[in-house]
Amino acid sequence: MTFKHINVIKAGCIFALFILLSVSGRAQDQKAPELMIGDTAPQLKYGSWVKGSPIKAYKKGHLYLFEFWATWCGPCIASMPHLSEFAKENAKDLTVIAVNIWEDKSGKMPYNALLPKVAKFVKGMGNKMAFNVATDTKDEFMGNKWMKAAGQGGIPCSFMVKDGIIQWIGHPVQLDSIVKLIMHGNYNVAAARKAAIEQAAKGPSPEESILMNGMKNSTAAIEKKEYAKAILIIDSAVKNLSPVMAGPLNFSKFTALFDAEGEEKAMKFVRDWQATNPGYKGSVGSFLASRPGLLKGSYLYGVNILKELADNPQPASLMYKFIADAYVNMGDYKGAVEAQEIAIAKAKEYLKNGKFAGFVLEDTVKEYEAALEKYKKGIK
């Protein structure tokens, strides 16, 4: 997670399940940037050019937008319909290249094994991804030599390049205003570089440091199954954080409590948390719905959260898919069938109306329908 993006996270959520910036599990420790605004852009390398025509060379005076994303990144998906319109409106002066990076957050799978997944997603998006799409190389050149070199640990992230020089680096929510400045000759690269250097020199605020260290150290403990240690780290950090900033740590504590102290204490914690300073509600609901072996009351608590979030603001199709999972885990296949039928109906409605593009694809409906048939067979 980069210093400059913590404030973006504070701003809120596009969907409750997805913070505005998604952070790769392999990009937590960021060094001081080696690549800055005003520097020559690194070479463009790609493993596969999935959509559009490969860029052979930069045209003089033309703008190139490199948009880094992954299929697991909710904010990346949420921004794509607007990015497509943006690409169409500025096609004369600008070329968009969406570069898929960090597709496997664990870094354990060979990159070429992930290409079918990416290609399937891009095909499913259709004209909601009306721009070039490429994937990283197997040695992750783009993720390392562009993103990490620039101190960027979260996606989506945009790089604007003109005449081979990096003009701007930031979140795509700022694209419209930045492009207008550059196109109209009102953008000062030297001033932007100076501001970026000053921002990088400031480093994180005390609260940001507490959050980043808490996440890093508790995650390391959880990976070693040292759950009690992780909870102590989280509790120490949360005492010094605002409720909004404490959200990711509270969710980590909630999940760790199941293994450290059991379901009863985990549920007491989450009920108290959600009753006072609610956050990460979609993540809490989906976690409960998907975890086998819980008490019925825990599942119903998750179901109520998911129903509350359906179309408010999350896609009801996804919420009812999770609700169906919860009923399956309860052994209630009749309830699962009813929930899955709602999920399918809502997914078809979204496809027809072009709503929640990227979160609902044609394959989503097929997968939901296949699950529905299994649930029907479970009814005795």
Count structural domains, the chain.
Answer: 2
Q: State the Cα–Cα distance between residues 278 and 255, nearest whole angstrom.
A: 16
| Containing structural domain, residue 194 | 3-202
Domain check: are 182 and 229 in the same one?
Answer: no
Q: Where are the beta strands (DSSP E) in the chain?
A: 13-15, 18-19, 22-23, 48-51, 63-69, 94-100, 132-135, 154-155, 157-162, 165-170
Domain check: are 179 and 223 in the same one?
Answer: no
**3-state DSSP call for residue 94?**
strand
The backbone region for 132, taken as left when phi is positive above 0, alpha when psi lies in -120 to 50, beta otherwise, is beta
Domain check: are 107 and 241 in the same one?
Answer: no
Domain check: are 280 and 366 in the same one?
Answer: yes
Domain check: are 197 and 87 in the same one?
Answer: yes
Which runs of consecutive H residues, i.e. helices, occur in 90-152?
A: 115-125, 141-142
Domain check: are 224 and 87 in the same one?
Answer: no
Q: State the Cα–Cα distance between residues 25 and 347, nearest whole angstrom.
A: 30
Q: Give residue 20's pLDDT.
A: 40
Domain check: are 180 and 225 in the same one?
Answer: no
Residue 235 has pLDDT above 50, yes or no: yes
This prediction has a pTM of 0.79
Q: State the Cα–Cα distance between residues 186 and 149, nearest whole angstrom.
A: 27
End-of-domain residue from the set 202, 227, 242: 202
Q: What is the mean pLDDT of residues 248-273?
A: 96
Inter-residue contact 215 to 28 (CB < 8 Å): yes
Domain check: are 159 and 297 in the same one?
Answer: no
Per-residue confidence at 183, pLDDT binned at 50, 70, 90?
A: confident
Residue 4 has pLDDT above 80, yes or no: no
Domain check: are 119 and 18 in the same one?
Answer: yes
Domain check: are 197 and 325 in the same one?
Answer: no
Residue 61 has pLDDT above 50, yes or no: yes
Residue 40 has pLDDT above 80, yes or no: yes
Predicted confidence (pLDDT) per residue in 149-169, tens digit: 999 888 999 999 999 999 999
Residue 21 has pLDDT above 60, yes or no: no
Burial 52-91 (b: 16+ CB within 10 A, else e): beebeebeeeebbbbbbbbbbbbbbbbbbbebbebbeebe
Least confident stretch, 191-195, 282-286, 354-358: 354-358
Q: State the Cα–Cα distance between residues 66 and 157, nearest whole angstrom.
A: 8
Residue 3 has pLDDT above 80, yes or no: no
The two counts, helices (H) then strands (E), for the chain are: 15, 10
End-of-domain residue from the set 173, 202, 231: 202
CATH of the domain at 43: 3.40.30.10
End-of-domain residue from the set 148, 180, 202: 202
CATH of the domain at 211: 1.25.40.10
Q: Give residue 22's pLDDT.
A: 52
Predicted confidence (pLDDT) per residue in 184-220, tens digit: 888 999 999 999 888 888 878 899 899 989 999 999 9
Residue 17 has pLDDT above 60, yes or no: no
Q: Give residue 23's pLDDT.
A: 53
Domain check: are 187 and 220 in the same one?
Answer: no
Q: How many beta carbons lie within 10 A of that of residue 118, not counting itself?
A: 22
Domain check: are 221 and 299 in the same one?
Answer: yes
